[in-house]
Amino acid sequence: MARMKGLAMLDFDKIGWIEKEVPSIGPNDALCRPLALSPCTSDVHTVWERALGQRHDLILGHEASAEVIEVGSLVKDFKPGDKVIVPAITPDWQAVESQSGFSQHSGGMLNGWKFSNAKDGVFGDYFHVNEADGNLAHLPDEIDPVDAVMLSDMVPTGFHGADNAEVAYGDTVVVVGIGPVGLMAVAGCALRGAGRIFAVGSRKRCQEVAIQYGATDTVNYRDGDIVEQIKDTMGGKPVDKVILAGGDNDTFDQAVRLVRPGGIISNINYLGTGDYIKIPRVDWGLGMGHIRITGGLMPGGRKNMEYLSRLMVYGRLDVSPMLTHRFDKFEDLEPALLMMKDKPADLIKPVVKLY
Ligand code: NDP
Ligand code: ZN
């Protein structure tokens, strides 16, 4: 069997390069070779916060654009040589959960998340994609494969936050956390027609990019309670929606205190530690305030990728302001991932180009 190299979680708190066999594919699957890769904060939760439990020698990564190398006998729409968008979430489309509209949970809670969780991720010379016809999308010529990596996870996750918040024309929305996920939530809110968008984060670079994506106000959580800061600006009034793309379990408390009766709190943050989330009883209307709290793993799937990519093809979304650190060697993945863990002030997202 042919061998390949990959960047893996070796143990809790430990990453390193390993060799493995090149994955074999089934009749519906594809074997791909990455064109560009990016580490995710979720990889950091997995390795350094132990969020998924133990994993030995699991190749990390779920953000890639790629070239198809081989396809199974039943794959209809992709062939070797095709350039593709690869979503981080690759559901089993025949599962009942997928038929119910929650493909992210095909076969059980979060089971649509396969790369770097249930099987080796994309940080290898090659990687395996299940159900290629349902899970891959053709990469339009107009999109640079480096930019296309943001379609794997950052764009669909941020936009999912805005979708779940049901952002409507004129809404006042608070986006808590403006790393790459929150920035794409800001962009999604702006595209959905939000009126006022508060972007919460402390790093100046992220605040500047948030304004570019449509934020009207920035709030630094290190300057004091964000509820007080935002309510002061709003003359004491609550907001319509809150999207959580950063913070911790206690941030839900702030979200409930910010949102109006009937408002929506939409979490896309990966809660890597702790057992419980506290909801303030009185601010939640004693349980009767019609405040909805929802949270979701990003939807994958070919259709979603094709539609989101049109925003880039037709100039409505430019992901390049987020790509602050660019590398050009496979080996650079390791410093890029460590950078994602340490979050230097000028970092939004590192990306590694391999072509
Ligand atoms: P970053 O770490 O880059 O961004 C986090 C943001 O939260 C920063 O703006 C940070 O501010 C801000 N923040 C930190 N602490 C607080 C606080 N106490 N109050 C308010 N804001 C705070 O993360 P990413 O954007 O890369 O990812 C965000 C989350 O989304 C992660 O948990 C990630 O795992 C998750 N995720 C979820 C997915 C899904 O499908 N639902 C998919 C992909 C990722 P600053 O740094 O400026 O101080
Ligand atoms: Zn991710």
Q: What is the pLDDT of residues 72-97, one digit of tens each?
A: 999 999 999 999 999 999 999 999 99
Q: What is the pLDDT of residue 1?
A: 73
Q: What is the pLDDT of residue 51?
A: 87
Superfamily for the 161-295 domain: NAD(P)-binding Rossmann-like Domain (3.40.50.720)
245 Cβ contact list (under 8 Å, min separation 6): 158, 161, 175, 176, 177, 178, 179, 181, 182, 185, 268, 269
CATH 3.90.180.10 positions along the chain are: 3-153+298-353
Q: Which ligand is nearest to the CA of 180?
A: 1
Closest atom of ligand 1 relative to the 347 alpha carbon: 3
Closest atom of ligand 1 relative to the 183 alpha carbon: 25
Q: Which ligand is nearest to the CA of 105?
A: 1
Q: What is the pLDDT of residue 273?
A: 84
Does the beta carbon of 62 sit less than 6 angstroms from any atom of ligand 1? no
308 Cβ contact list (under 8 Å, min separation 6): 151, 155, 156, 159
* Domain range 3-153+298-353, CATH class: alpha beta
Q: Is the pLDDT of residue 253 over 80?
A: yes
CB 333 within 8 A of CB 168: no
Q: What is the pLDDT of residue 274?
A: 87
Does the beta carbon of 183 sit less than 6 angstroms from any atom of ligand 1? no
CB 313 within 8 A of CB 142: yes
CA distance linking residue 177 with residue 243, whole number of Å: 9
| Buried/exposed code over 20-45 (b: 16+ C-beta within 10 A; e: otherwise) | bebbebeebbbbbbbbbbbbbbbbbb
Count CA within 13 A, CB hemisphere, residue 132.
30
CATH 3.40.50.720 positions along the chain are: 161-295
CB 128 within 8 A of CB 31: yes
CA distance linking residue 126 with residue 145, whole number of Å: 16
Mean predicted lDDT score pLDDT of the chain: 97
Count CA within 13 A, CB hemisphere, residue 171.
27
Distance from residue 41's CA to the centre of ligand 1 (Å) = 8
Average pLDDT over residues 158-167: 98
Average pLDDT over residues 153-160: 98
Q: Is the pLDDT of residue 339 over 80?
A: yes
**DSSP codes, 247-259:** S-TTHHHHHHHHE
Tokens of 224: 């004091």
Average pLDDT over residues 232-246: 98
Q: How far is CA 46 from the centre of its chain?
A: 14
Does the beta carbon of 230 sit less than 6 angstroms from any atom of ligand 1? no
Average pLDDT over residues 345-353: 97
